[in-house]
Amino acid sequence: MLFPKEKMSHTNTLGGNKSDEGWLVLDIGSVELEGVKKLYIDLHDIAEVKGRKSKEMEALEKAKRLLGGE
């Protein structure tokens, strides 16, 4: 099964641990997995997911600056 990248995210913290590389998060809550034995994740998708998280963080920082935050 090719795992949909819309159901992937990336985090740099997990259980109080921090990592520069971080963790790939696979949201399997709404994915039908009956009979699935293997999940395939394109490494290009991982880079895209990490880049998306980076853009989100940049937008958050910009919004904070515009609103006079830290």
Q: What is the pLDDT of residues 2-48, one digit of tens each?
A: 888 888 888 888 899 898 888 888 888 877 778 877 777 777 888 88
Report residue 68's pLDDT band, with 50, 70 and 90 as the boundaries.
Answer: confident
Structure token digits, residue 55:
């853009």
Amino acid in position 52 = R
The pLDDT of residue 64: 86
Q: Is pLDDT at 70 greater than 70 in this prediction?
A: no
DSSP annotation of 5: G
Beta bridge partners of 26: 8
| pTM of this structure | 0.58
Q: How far is CA 13 from CA 22, 37, 56, 64, in A?
A: 7, 28, 16, 21
